[in-house]
A and B are shown apart, each in its own frame.
Chain A
Amino acid sequence: MPTPAGLYCGLGEFHIDPTRPVDKAVITHGHSDHARPGHGSVLATPETLDLMALRYGGNFAGRVQAARYGESLNIGGATVTFHPAGHVLGSAQVGVEHNGLRIVASGDYKNVADPTCTPFAAVRCDVFITEATFGLPVFRHGNPDDEIAKLLRSVALFPERAHLVGAYALGKAQRVIALIRKAGYAAPIYLHGALESITQYYQSRGIALGELRPVRDADKSQLAGAIILCPPSALNDLWSRRFHDPVTAFASGWMRVRARARQRGIALPLVISDHADWDGLTATITATGAAEVWVTHGQEDALVHFCLTQGLKNGLKARPLALVGYGEEEEIDDAVDSAKASGEAP
């Protein structure tokens, strides 16, 4: 059930992705709006625990416990199982079962291919707790390969301009690099300092990303026409001034809406998202077979409306949970990662 600290399971006495320090926390994935430091104990996938340690240091929680996808644990009589969420490396949905009733909390998820993480699996359940970041029918993310093709066309047309691609440090940056490699681009890709450690972690987990170089070691001539990844906030920061007349790109589902791209001064919006789009959300809700849907964060109204109109046909029930504190991964992660990046302005 929803509480001020986040979703709470009374039987197992644990919170899922709590937004304030609690005794027992189950964490779906490593984005800092979901994974916060200071809990008594943390249960998460091994990758999520590694990523939290990378961000917050080794002492981010009193005690940690790892569980792999598909492994079931008994917590106070409730059976807890992680299922792949396809959002970022290590991301999981949390299934909780008791007396034949199964509730699945999705965390953040996407149901499309991503070479950098385990694919999403829809889990049959009675109650499905879904995110709704892109819960409006205007959000259809399309094929990310087309967006990468747009980026590469621009590099070909403007070979003297550096292409700065804003991408969240955890997940998006690595996925964008993998997509660029998939499109056949073999030249070195440059990284802002804030992206280095997490990207190295991905590589250490066997994800091939080709040759990557830190921007700070490169000289100006190498950066002309190069693809450079940075956290989104760096696009409008002092940092971006070292490049002459750069093309600013931003890889995000928000780029679907022109006003959002313009507000940020983006010249090349790339619609690439790690969240399910409208079709993904609605298809997943149907696939879970759930009789009841709870909507956690994002554009709840439209998704709840969708469920209720479906409900006229098949009895589906839905309600918004109005949880606060999620969906701010960009701002929080940017601040954390930028502050840690050596030699870069915060």
Chain B
Amino acid sequence: MNRFAQLLDRLSYERGRNNKLRLMTEFFRNMPDPERGWTLAALTGALSFRHAKPGVIRALIGQRTDEVLFALSYDYVGDLSETVALMWPAPPALTLREALPSPTLSDVIGTLATLGKSELPAQLARWLDELDETARWALLKLVTGGLRVGVSARLAKTAAAALGAKDTQEIELIWPGLKPPYVELFAWLEGRAEKPLSHDPIPFRPAMLAHAIDESELAGLDPGDFMAEWKWDGIRVQAVAARGTDGASLARLYSRTGEDISSSFPDLIETMRFAGAIDGELLVVRDAQIQSFNVLQQRLNRKTVNGKLLAEFPAHLRAYDLLVEGEEDLRERPFAERRARLEEFVARLDEPRIDLSPLVPFRTWDELTAARADPDLAGPDAEAVEGVMLKRRDAPYLPGRPKGPWWKWKRDPLMVDAVLMYAQRGHGKRSSYYSDYTFGVWTKAENGDVLVPVGKAYFGFTDQELIEIDRFVRRNTIERFGPVREVTHEADTGLVLEVAFEGLQRSTRHKSGLAMRFPRINRLRWDKPPREADRLETLEHMLRRMEAGRNAAVSGAQSV
């Protein structure tokens, strides 16, 4: 338990991804089975303990400590597990801890698996007596669920993969067939055994990704080699379904990195009664219209999925590609053939929640350029078009991001000149830099024009530009609010930022009445005085134009 606790402790403070990976890989290398396997299970969220509720822990500490001292301490520390871990009084005989070997993670998990609910409090108290502060904290975090040390399941698997210089994808592929403490997995990673076979009938297959392209690069390509389709602004998923040996229908929804996200989308899962694997985009469709990414996000961010959420944000799959049909793996076939099979496949499904992403017809790049500039061609869902995808007719479905077969050509971003108003210090490597910027545009007020904040951005600039902005912030601070500094923003003095963004939405949460989607700093306009920055009316005009475009598309579709 101590080594596991030390790892969690260190991970909880370390911010760098690579450093977290090294901490975990080092741990997996030095720890024996099954301890490291249980650790991997804890980090990937594969364990859960039913009986250990916060109430049990509160009752335990209540028996051991003064109630006033506990209240004062809890108030100060702010976290129940941590307060209990720190306050837990040493057992009557101080030597007890040295005399008994403290329990290992395997001991704890093994005991918890067989323990009845009524025996739990006494057992927890025994462990708390035997462990030190950090291990007590780790134990309580473990049993109450949710380690929250900033490690995703994917990252933990990546750390394990590094043990055998394997690709994380390989682990993802066999993961559904593995069980903690993953002894056979580690044996394979260390080159001592064959790769564990996946008996999973509905596995994830590594996704194929595209490189970005722009107009100038297109000239070098032959339009006849490519097919085009809309790029939808949702989340990329893989929908896999099959009939199990017992005849029951099996279905799973994966993110593009192979994480199983089925539990968040039961409404889509229950419609997946096919045998095959579809590559597509997960979208929210309401009133026969794809909703913006902002709407989708409201569903994505929920931990629990209830009926209200399902009714308000119905999930929908828009199909791009067919990787497997029945038992047949199509990934080696050319895209043109897979596309034809996909069209038939989706038509046969006849399932309203699963539809086909239409092709964009074109003969020349000019025609495609025109189509991309006017996504209204995509019908009522024009607003959800993020750009176009170009796919070589002869390309097989390859894992990863190969250069050449697939290109994504996004719509030009929207752009506005705004004035820097507030800056906040960043995290990690950027912790000494002011790297999060709130910017505003002009609007009319009682005593002339004032700046109203319209968004916040923390990327898009180069390291060199970051240093320049940071210097500007430090030299032009007019007020401090904790980690935030307000900087000079007058008509003639201040910093103008060219901000690029993907969309606009009405928002009641912002004073300006609108919110930007995906804003980032495109350029620093040292040359431009703040008085020449854009006005709120410009953004409102952009927003109205977008809404008008959407409504026109809707009425156009209805009249057909």
For residue B333, CB closer than 8 A to chain A, the reply is: no
CA distance A142 to B73 in the complex (A): 18
For residue B15, CB closer than 8 A to chain A, the reply is: yes
For residue A213, CB closer than 8 A to chain B, the reply is: no
CA distance A40 to B473 in the complex (A): 44
A247-277: CB near B (< 8 Å → 1, else 0) gives 0000000001111011001111100000000
For residue B166, CB closer than 8 A to chain A, the reply is: no
For residue B87, CB closer than 8 A to chain A, the reply is: yes
CA distance A339 to B427 in the complex (A): 26
For residue A136, CB closer than 8 A to chain B, the reply is: yes
CA distance A46 to B65 in the complex (A): 43
For residue B558, CB closer than 8 A to chain A, the reply is: no
Given A236-B432, A265-B427, A266-B13, does the pair A138, B86 have CB atoms closer than 8 Å? yes
B74-93: CB near A (< 8 Å → 1, else 0) gives 00111100110011010000
Given A138-B86, A305-B68, does the pair A262, B16 have CB atoms closer than 8 Å? no
For residue A331, CB closer than 8 A to chain B, the reply is: no
List chain B residues, Cβ under 8 A from A305: 66, 68-69, 72
CA distance A328 to B33 in the complex (A): 48
CA distance A305 to B429 in the complex (A): 43
A241 to chain B: closest residue by CB: B432
- Contact between A137 and B23, CB atoms less than 8 A apart: no
For residue B132, CB closer than 8 A to chain A, the reply is: yes
Closest CB-CB distance, B423 to chain A, in whole Å? 15
List chain A residues, Cβ under 8 A from B132: 142
Interface residues of A in 98-119 (CB under 8 A from B): none
For residue A211, CB closer than 8 A to chain B, the reply is: no
CA distance A241 to B16 in the complex (A): 16
- Contact between B133 and A302, CB atoms less than 8 A apart: no
The contact of A259 among B19, B78, B87, B432, by CB within 8 Å, is B78
Closest CB-CB distance, A233 to chain B, in whole Å? 11
CA distance A267 to B427 in the complex (A): 11
Interface residues of A in 269-300 (CB under 8 A from B): 269, 299
List chain B residues, Cβ under 8 A from A241: 432
A269 to chain B: closest residue by CB: B13
For residue B14, CB closer than 8 A to chain A, the reply is: yes
For residue B12, CB closer than 8 A to chain A, the reply is: yes
List chain B residues, Cβ under 8 A from A266: 13
For residue B436, CB closer than 8 A to chain A, the reply is: no
For residue B22, CB closer than 8 A to chain A, the reply is: yes
Interface residues of B in 90-149 (CB under 8 A from A): 132-133
A to B contact number (C-beta, < 8 Å): 76
- Contact between A259 and B15, CB atoms less than 8 A apart: no
List chain A residues, Cβ under 8 A from B79: 258-259
- Contact between A138 and B13, CB atoms less than 8 A apart: no
- Contact between B76 and A240, CB atoms less than 8 A apart: no
Given A136-B72, A238-B432, does the pair A258, B12 have CB atoms closer than 8 Å? yes
- Contact between A245 and B432, CB atoms less than 8 A apart: no
Closest CB-CB distance, A47 to chain B, in whole Å? 34
CA distance A259 to B79 in the complex (A): 9
- Contact between B16 and A157, CB atoms less than 8 A apart: no
List chain A residues, Cβ under 8 A from B22: 157-158
For residue B184, CB closer than 8 A to chain A, the reply is: no
B433 to chain A: closest residue by CB: A241
Say which size band chain B's interface belongs to.
20 to 34
The interface residues of chain B, by DSSP majority, are classed as helix
For residue A309, CB closer than 8 A to chain B, the reply is: yes
- Contact between A256 and B86, CB atoms less than 8 A apart: yes
List chain A residues, Cβ under 8 A from B26: 157
For residue B298, CB closer than 8 A to chain A, the reply is: no
Given A256-B86, A269-B13, A301-B72, does the pair A138, B77 have CB atoms closer than 8 Å? yes
List chain B residues, Cβ under 8 A from A138: 73, 76-77, 83, 86-87
Number of chain A residues close to chain B: CB under 8 A:
33
Closest CB-CB distance, B484 to chain A, in whole Å? 14
- Contact between B82 and A258, CB atoms less than 8 A apart: yes
- Contact between A137 and B12, CB atoms less than 8 A apart: no
List chain A residues, Cβ under 8 A from B133: 140, 142, 256
- Contact between A302 and B69, CB atoms less than 8 A apart: yes
List chain B residues, Cβ under 8 A from A262: 13
Closest CB-CB distance, A127 to chain B, in whole Å? 24
CA distance A256 to B427 in the complex (A): 21
Closest CB-CB distance, B283 to chain A, in whole Å? 37
For residue B63, CB closer than 8 A to chain A, the reply is: no
Given A158-B19, A258-B79, does the pair A137, B432 have CB atoms closer than 8 Å? no
Closest CB-CB distance, B467 to chain A, in whole Å? 9
For residue B431, CB closer than 8 A to chain A, the reply is: yes
Interface residues of A in 120-170 (CB under 8 A from B): 136-140, 142, 150, 154, 157-158
- Contact between B73 and A137, CB atoms less than 8 A apart: yes
The contact of B13 among A240, A261, A309, by CB within 8 Å, is A261
- Contact between B15 and A140, CB atoms less than 8 A apart: no
- Contact between B14 and A299, CB atoms less than 8 A apart: no
CA distance A157 to B89 in the complex (A): 33
List chain B residues, Cβ under 8 A from A240: 432
Closest CB-CB distance, A297 to chain B, in whole Å? 16
B467 to chain A: closest residue by CB: A241
CA distance A299 to B66 in the complex (A): 16
- Contact between A136 and B73, CB atoms less than 8 A apart: yes
Closest CB-CB distance, B266 to chain A, in whole Å? 36
CA distance A306 to B66 in the complex (A): 9
CA distance A206 to B291 in the complex (A): 74
For residue A217, CB closer than 8 A to chain B, the reply is: no
Closest CB-CB distance, B471 to chain A, in whole Å? 10
For residue A71, CB closer than 8 A to chain B, the reply is: no
A244 to chain B: closest residue by CB: B429
- Contact between B13 and A140, CB atoms less than 8 A apart: no
The contact of A237 among B78, B427, B432, by CB within 8 Å, is B432
Closest CB-CB distance, A164 to chain B, in whole Å? 11
List chain A residues, Cβ under 8 A from B12: 258
- Contact between B86 and A267, CB atoms less than 8 A apart: no
CA distance A271 to B302 in the complex (A): 37
- Contact between B82 and A257, CB atoms less than 8 A apart: yes
CA distance A140 to B87 in the complex (A): 8
List chain A residues, Cβ under 8 A from B69: 136-137, 302, 305-306
List chain A residues, Cβ under 8 A from B73: 136-138, 302
- Contact between A257 and B77, CB atoms less than 8 A apart: yes
List chain A residues, Cβ under 8 A from B431: 236, 265
A135 to chain B: closest residue by CB: B72
Given A136-B76, A306-B69, does the pair A267, B87 have CB atoms closer than 8 Å? no
CA distance A309 to B68 in the complex (A): 11
List chain A residues, Cβ under 8 A from B65: 137
B1-27: CB near A (< 8 Å → 1, else 0) gives 000001000101111100100110010
Interface residues of A in 77-97 (CB under 8 A from B): none
- Contact between A268 and B13, CB atoms less than 8 A apart: yes
CA distance A265 to B23 in the complex (A): 18
Interface residues of B in 315-335 (CB under 8 A from A): none
CA distance A325 to B432 in the complex (A): 29
CA distance A301 to B22 in the complex (A): 43
Question: What are 21 pairs between A and B in contact, CB < 8 Å?
Answer: A136-B76, A137-B73, A137-B86, A150-B6, A157-B22, A236-B432, A245-B16, A257-B77, A257-B82, A257-B86, A259-B77, A265-B427, A265-B431, A266-B13, A267-B13, A267-B14, A267-B15, A268-B13, A299-B72, A306-B66, A306-B69
Known A137-B87, A257-B77; 7 more pairs at CB < 8 Å? A137-B89, A138-B76, A140-B86, A245-B429, A267-B14, A267-B15, A305-B69
Closest 3 CB pairs of A and B: A138-B86, A138-B73, A265-B431
Q: Which residues of A contact B (CB under 8 A)?
A: 136-140, 142, 150, 154, 157-158, 236-238, 240-241, 245, 256-259, 261-262, 265-269, 299, 301-302, 305-306, 309
